[in-house]
Structure 1
Amino acid sequence: MKSPVPPSPPDPRGPARLDFNTPALRRRRRWRALQDRLVRGSVLAGGLAVLATITLIFFYLAYVVLPLLRGASLEAEPLPQPAWLATAGAPLLLGVDEQNRLGLHLSQGGEATFFTLADGQPVIRERLPLPPGVTISSQAQDAPRGLIALGLSDGRVLVAHKRYVSRYPQGERVITPELDFPYGREPLDLGAPRAALERVAIAGDEDLLVLAGAQGNRVTALRLGGLATPVTGDQATPVRTSITLGPLNAAVKAIHLDPRGRWLYALNGRAQADVFDLHDGSLNGHYKLLDAADNEVTASAQLLGGVSLLVGTAKGGVSQWFMVRGQDGEPVLRHIRDFQLGTAPIVQLVPEQRRKGFVALDAAGELGVFHSTAGRTLLREQLAPAAGVLALSPRADRLLLEENGRLLGFRLDNPHPEVSWSALWGKVWYENYEAPARVWQSSAATADFEPKLSLAPLTFGTLKAAFYAMLFAAPLAIAAAIYTAYFMAPRMRRTVKPVIELMEALPTVILGFFAGLFLAPFVENHLPGLFSLLLLLPLAILAAGFGWSRLPLTLRERIPEGWESLLLLPVVLLTTALALWLSPSLEGLLFAGDLRLWLSQELGIAYDQRNALIIGLAMGFAVIPNIFSIAEDAIYSVPRSLTLGSLALGATPWQTLTRVVLLTASPGIFSALMIGLGRAVGETMIVLMATGNTPIMDANLFEGMRTLAANIAVEMPESEVGGTHYRLLFLAALVLLSFTFLMNTLAELIRQRLRKNYAAL
């Protein structure tokens, strides 16, 4: 047997100490410090990169949008003064071709001269076929069609047509002007007395020509219908109708015609407009244009399309009028909006040929550029010492002015006149509308279309879709997160949570396709059952819970704690099946067999198959995983010690949940809701496929909508790069980004406040 080893004597220097300053440990500490700096720098660089990217996106959107806010600009362009201008006589009208290469000078003596703007040399000089001894007494234009009506001193009207024909000899473009007479070289007889036509007007289309002339206080109109060549190829026989109106209360100062050949406006020296219905020659009404006794009408014109009447006054103002339906259903002439140029009388109004804009020239030679729909004054600038005859090119980018025998040219830059704050967000009274409205309609088939560019319906639709989606998703997601994190058994939670989070991987285009093709008609056919489900399902769950509480304790203890929710699945499924099965019976019993008709007739609620209810269900399904995952993590992360401490102090599990757990997790729950709302606001494909894409402002649950994101996706491929429509879509994107940024900023401030308030728990 070995003897025991005696213990070693204690070290007089004390117990041995570990050396933490060895070279290996120093290298490890340096390596860890380097790793910490690298990770910290990477996270910082990543965060700064995200902020820089968002900032660059914001500034790029602003860069594209800013030209919309810019007004018009005018630049003088020197023009040669050709020798023929001195002998041509006083100008009756001027014109410019679309390419800004050729000009037209029509003198009061009846000589038409086409000349090049670059050097002023005449291309064609032609005398109009005026009868012997007859002179021109008045003129009017149908500018979009290139028609010129010349009122003659014998009471007849000569109609000329100017056009510019493009040819490409040897591959180069050559523009040749032509002046023809589509209704004959012989003047048309209106049926008026053989006296000078002091005023003349022209309107119509391919199948209709309407002419009107005024002599003193009498107006004579001529309608030529059936002018289009029939399909058979036979020569069309015009239907001629002559109408004499008057005598009026005062001499006529101007007359204008509706392009559809219905309305005739006669403006007299009493600042009054007499409107006649040419279909039957009846007087629609007398309308007072000006209130001030010392004011008078000095110029007038019609906007593109002929619906709106522009009236210039002696005090430098311009007012817009058009026919609307009155309270009794009859059309009346209504004053819409006003513009102000200066204090000198307006002497000429020239409308644009492709937009609802116009230019005004006053007696002092000052020019104003305006847009009617936007209610916008884009430019005021002095052109010449005095007024002259003004012409505006078809593209509204070139001005030509003849003043005291001089020819002046100007380049006009006015690319985006349709946009203003009132046009984007306020109510605008559009032509042919009975009242001001907020409307988005960016394009149409006709050239005289009035763009309706209000972003209000799109913004409203975005908020409406997000509201109904959150109304459906938020309660379900938050309640599911509370139960999963606080009450559910851990084993069951490990299965349920990944399944719900897996829902987020579903492509939104699939959800939109499903909602549009299956869910929308299914909801329409089972609407009574779905509404009854809102009542039956809570009652069924309460009844199931009450029945479960009355079962013997020994039976209830057989179900492990946290697994009770499985017992509700059959209850939910059976109740849903029962409600859908009862749907046809409920519809026949309560709504006479047609709930949609009952809603329309009894409540005045329109029903559209693809509506906000469908969006709430489909987009809510897409938003639930986001809200559930973040909220569940926040609730589950509440320290267990807080829960146990509350229970130990005598609080019930429900009191612990509501007064401790939810308050502690409230910053995370609020973040989940804000992220879900941001997802709903920016959603594109679901609202694109599951709504009617109708940009209307209606809170009705059964009406559709159009959102900002969906509108961008639909219309961006059709927009012209750099055009007004294109930049407006970028403005919509900027509004969406700004709204999301402000919403997230506000959410972060609230979240930080909640964290500060409940950090002590």
Structure 2
Amino acid sequence: MESTSESLFGVSEQRLAKMRRYRKLKDQVAAAGISAGGVGVIFAICLIFFYLLYEVLPLFMPASMEERSTLTAYDLTTPYFTVVEEQGQVALAVDQVRGPVFYNASSGELVSNPALPNSSPITAFSKDAPGTRAYALGFADGSVLIQKPSYRIEYGATMQDKTVHPDIVYPLGEEPITVLDGEAIQHLAYRESGDQLRIVAANAAGDLYMKDFAKTESFLSDEVELQEIDTVRLPAPSGKLANLLLSLDQRWLFLVEAQGKVEVLDLRNPVSEMRVFIADVVDTQTRITVSDFLLGGFSLLIGDDKGRISQWFVTYNDNNQPYLAKVRTMTLEPGVAITALQTEHRRKGFIAGDANGNIGLFNTTAEREVLDETITDRAIDWIAMSPRGDTAIFKARERAPVRFHMDNEHPEVSWSSMWSKIWYERYEEPTYTWQSSSASNDFEPKFSLMPLTFGTMKAAFYAMLVAVPLSICGAIYTAYFMASGLRTKVKPTIELMEAMPTVILGFLAGLWLAPLVEANLAGVTSILVLTPLFCIIAAFLWSRLPRDLSTRVPDGYVPVILIPVVVLAGALSMWMSDPIEAAFFGGSMREWLSNDLGIDFDQRNSLVVGLAMGFAVIPTIFSITEDAIFAVPKGLTQGSLALGATPWQTLVRVVLPTASPGIFSALMIGLGRAVGETMIVLMATGNTPIMDMNIFEGLRTLSANIAVEMPEAEVDSTHFRILFLSGLVLFIFTFLVNTTAEVVRQRLRGKYGSL
């Protein structure tokens, strides 16, 4: 007897059962594959997140210091200055009695004590910029001698097996330079530039003298000859000098007085006008204990007996008058006097020690204390530091010096330095600034992410301002009003625009569109007015055509008539650009914006980015929006129309609410595309990291900044890791936008899904 399955389907029961098992197996395999793919995507995203986090976390790891050895063989008196050489093997101390002394940086044993060509007692000391390693000694006979340590490295069997041989060289000759005639130099400051040497010296009475020398290098040897240019007696200080400091550019002379005042002399002025101001850097109940220049020779660090270290530099007020600005104040231990101060050789940071044996590592740019430890119960006499900042020697009163290993990789980074205004050295006020590199070794890195984040949002805003109205309105008309035959041509054409490589769009925007907009700014602006005006006029004329003519155009094909209207409006606007500029803007709209309105204009600006990136975003928003509107069930629209609603009422009250989850998703995806775009903003913005909403100025985005600077960033450097932090910020922003979009989409679907 024939089975039921055979009579109905022509397949035996066994065959049908086998097919069902096979179909179930395929369903299970497909479900497992889809699940594995989804899990794989989530895993890949998590892997990217944790890798970015892995690269970023060292930026925020605390600094540390570890004791390595005690220099028991050290037997020098209090030196003027001490420093550890690059390899951390040998240290130099400029002793008040014995002059330059090299000693082992681990044990304190004497390495060498080069003899001085001048037998007169040393009475003063001054160091040049840290990068030069040079310093000057002042003698009791009024002469000055400039020295520089030199290190020769001898390698053994391996690169790690090396021996450092120190020596003293005389870059300006071994002959002492006479500055004061027979009077002991009490205080000394000097700076050496490429062609000039400037020395300022003070005698015991407080009289100040400045001598300038011209440097001439011999063509036949490395010897340098000095020719005296001028000798000037400077204005006398009003109080007792504690220190004498000369800025790197040889212009500003700081007379630091122990009682809390700093007199500033402008050495470019005539002698009678040199004293430009006197600043009270501490209150009357406070005494200055230490003072020195920060790296670069412009910022003055003042330590006092209340445990505070303040940073000052010369800037200008609104009347273009110089004044000594207090930039920031950092505290080691309140109420405890600062007794030692050593600035870093390659960063805008310093180490301070106080009378209770506390050691603090500070960074001025980040305006934070990186490390604070107590290493002894005695006052810190002096601090020596290596150029790399990884080795430091601390000498406490009546204690042997102790060597520490320092781990302080990224002190210049803090949340405030990346997201708040920072008063950078020689700036007139606090600013948001991104400037990661410079030709100068004394450069202060500026790692503010605010200009980059602002530029990212600005580029996305103008791109969405161009793309959203065109894409949403175009999608509504295409899906709801346009004839199906025309829709099958328009929709694929617009979606095909998405295949255009963004590098091509950026190339065209930077090299063709930007000059075109600049040359025809009035015409480009006129397009925004003439195009809708011409469309309204065309619609009015169309409504006045005889019915037998207007009905010849099939329903849904009427918008084709607007194509020549739009082209005509654009062509007429560009043709009228020069006459409009001549009639209303004095011949140049760009100059009118700059001179009359005070609006800066850059050729590669946000307008160009908005047009180019809007063109790139339009296909994405249009396609998703059009699909969402077209997918609205026809029964809903037909029912609405049957109940007497007009097509526009049906669109606004039925179609758009039903399609709103898809429309919102389209907007969020378009926004994500605009935020993450790289090549267009890289080639069409000028890459200027500024914070200005002006549509005629450029910008720099986070993604473009990564593309520009990552190839040149030193691996594992602060700059390198901050670029990864930029990527992490973009990643988190995209995640939050997509999460918000999904939450809103689900709520919209729940609200309008019952329509």
TM-score normalised by structure 1 residue count: 0.93
Whether contact under 8 Å (1:218, 1:245) holds in the other structure is no
Residues in 1 aligned to 2:534 and 2:24: alpha-carbon distance in whole angstroms: 61
* TM superposition shift of 1:108: 1.9
Deviation by residue 1:648-670 (Cα, 9 ceiling, x = unmatched): 00111111111111110010011
Give the aligned partner of residue 96 of structure 1. Answer: 84
Q: SS state of the match for residue 335, structure 1? A: strand
What amino acid sits opposite 2:394 in the alignment?
L
CA distance in 1: counterparts of 2:698 and 2:669, whole angstroms = 24
Runs of at least 5 residues in structure 1 that lack an aligned partner in the other structure: 1-15
2:340 is matched with 348
Structure-2 residue corresponding to 1:325:
316
- CA separation of 1:219/1:455 partners in 2, compared to 1, >3 Å: closer, same or farther? farther
Amino acid at match of 2:461: F
Query: CA 1:232–1:526 in structure 2 vs 1: closer, same or farther (change >3 Å)?
Result: farther
Q: Report the Cα distance in structure 1 between the residues aligned to 2:310 and 2:419, rounded to whole angstroms.
A: 22
Question: 706-715 vs 241-250, which deviates more?
Answer: 241-250
Instruction: Indicate whether 1:365 and 2:351 are aligned.
Output: no
Aligned counterpart for 1:653 among listed residues 617, 633, 647: 647
What is the match of residue 176 of structure 2? Answer: 187
1:43 alignment counterpart: 34
CA distance in 2, matches of 1:45, 1:397: 48
The aligned counterpart of 1:266 is: 255
Aligned in 2, Cα 1:227/1:166: closer, same or farther, shift over 3 Å?
A: farther
* Per-residue deviation, 1:62: 1.0
Shift of 1:416: 0.4
Once the 2 structures are TM-superposed, how far is the Cα of residue 121 of structure 1 from its aligned partner?
4.4
For residue 624 of structure 1, what is the aligned residue in structure 2? 618
Distance 2:28 2:156 in 1: 73
Judge conservation of contact 1:509–1:686 (CA < 8 Å) in 2.
yes
**Matching residue of 2:366:** 374
Partner of 2:522: 528
Which of 377, 400, 406 is 1:385 aligned to?
377
**Cα deviation digits, residues 301-322 of structure 1 (max 9, x gap):** 1011111000001011000000
Distance 2:204 2:111 in 1: 38
Mapped pair 1:27 → 2:21: no
Equivalent-residue separation in structure 1 for 2:298 and 2:552 (angstroms): 81
1:210 and 2:198 matched: yes
1:227 aligned residue: 215
How do 1:303-452 and structure 2 match up within 5 A?
A: 303-342=294-333, 343-386=335-378, 387-403=380-396, 404=398, 406-452=400-446
Q: Which runs of 5+ in 2 are unaligned?
A: 1-6
Q: Matched residues in 2 for 1:355 and 1:379: separation?
A: 16
Residue 65 of structure 1 pairs with residue 56 of structure 2: yes
- Which of 231, 244, 255 is the equivalent residue of 1:242? 231
The corresponding residue for 2:278 is 286
1:309 and 1:321 in contact (8 A); partners too? yes
**Aligned match of 1:7:** none
Give a deviation string over 1:685-736, Cα, whole Å, max 9, x none: 0100111011111100000000000000000000111110100000000001
Report % sequence identity: 47
Deviations 1:371-402 (A, max 9, x none): 01110110111233322221111111111133
Asked if 1:197 is matched to 2:190, the reply is no
- Distance in 2 (CA, whole Å) between partners of 1:253 and 1:587 is 65
Amino acid at match of 1:148: Y
Q: 2: CA distance between counterparts of 1:72 and 1:124?
A: 34
* 1:521-670 mapped onto 2 (5 Å cutoff): 521-670=515-664
What whole-Å deviation, never above 9, does each CA across 1:135-166 have from its counterpart, x for those lacking one?
22232222321122223333433322212234
Work out whether residues 191 and 220 of structure 1, in 8 Å CA contact, stay in contact via their aligned partners in 2: no
**Aligned with residue 158 of structure 1, among 110, 133, 145:** 145
Counterparts of 1:415-494 in structure 2, within 5 Å, are: 415-494=409-488
Find the residue that maps to 2:217 and give its secondary structure: coil
Q: Bigger shift: 411-420 or 221-230?
A: 221-230
Task: Check conservation: 2:70, 2:400, Cα contact below 8 A.
Answer: no
SS of residue paired to 2:113: strand
Q: Deviations over 1:610-645 (max 9, x none)?
A: 000000011111111100110000000000000100
Q: Secondary structure of the residue that 2:212 maps to in structure 1?
A: strand
Give the counterpart of 1:697 among 691, 699, 702: 691
Q: Which moved more, 1:468-477 or 1:50-59?
A: 50-59
Q: 1:370 to 1:485 in 2, by over 3 A?
A: same
| Separation in 1, partners of 2:483, 2:258 | 90
2:121 corresponds, among 129, 132, 135, to 135
Judged with a 3 Å threshold, the aligned counterparts in structure 2 of structure 1 residues 223 and 451 are, in CA distance, closer, same or farther, namely farther
Given that 2:215 and 2:224 are in contact with CA atoms closer than 8 Å, whether structure 1 keeps it comes out as no
- Higher deviation after alignment, 108-117 or 535-544: 108-117
Instruction: Tell me the equivalent position of 2:246.
Output: 257
* 1:144 matches 2:121: no
Does the 8 Å CA contact 1:210/1:221 hold for their aligned counterparts? no
Equivalent position of 1:301 in the other structure:
292
Distance 1:20 1:645, change over 3 A: farther
Maintained 8 Å contact 1:512/1:685: yes
1:503 aligns with 2:497: yes
* Alpha-carbon distance in 2 for matches of 1:692, 1:230: 46
CA distance in 2, matches of 1:219, 1:307: 24
Tell me the residue number matched to 1:10. none
The corresponding residue for 2:4 is none
Residue-pair matches, total = 739
Instruction: Name 2:709's counterpart in structure 1.
Output: 715
Counterparts of 1:235 and 1:141 in 2: how far apart (Å)?
19
Structure 1 outlier segments of 4+, above 4 Å: 16-21, 118-121, 167-174, 230-237
For 2:359 and 2:436, the matched residues in 1 are separated by: 29
* Greater Cα radius of gyration, structure 1 or 2: 1
Worse-matched range after superposition: 214-223 or 67-76: 214-223
Q: Are 1:678 and 2:672 matched, yes or no?
A: yes
Alpha-carbon distance change, 724 to 219 in structure 1, aligned in 2, over 3 angstroms: farther
> Distance in 1 between the 2:67 and 2:461 partners?
54
- Distance in 2, matches of 1:620 and 1:514, equals 14
Q: Quick check: 2:123–2:138 contact (8 Å CA) kept in 1?
A: yes
Q: Distance in 1 between matches of 2:156 and 2:404?
A: 30
Cα offset, 1:585, TM superposition: 0.6
- Aligned partners of 1:79 and 1:117 also within 8 Å: no
Give the structure-2-normalised TM-score: 0.94
Asked if the contact 1:221–1:242 (Cα under 8 Å) also holds between the matched residues in 2, the reply is yes
Amino acid in structure 2 at the alignment position of 1:136: I
CA distance in 1, matches of 2:728, 2:79: 49
Does the CA-based 8 Å contact 1:691-1:705 persist in structure 2? yes
Counterparts of 1:141 and 1:17, CA distance in 2: 104
2:215 partner amino acid: L
Residue 516 and residue 313 in structure 1: after superposition, are their counterparts in 2 closer, same or farther (change >3 A)? same
| Corresponding residue to 1:516 among 510, 522, 525 | 510
Structure 1 residue 115: deviation in Å? 2.9
CA offset at residue 467 of structure 1?
Answer: 0.5
**How large is the RMSD of aligned CA atoms in angstroms?**
2.1
1:474 touches 1:627 (CA, 8 Å); kept in 2? yes
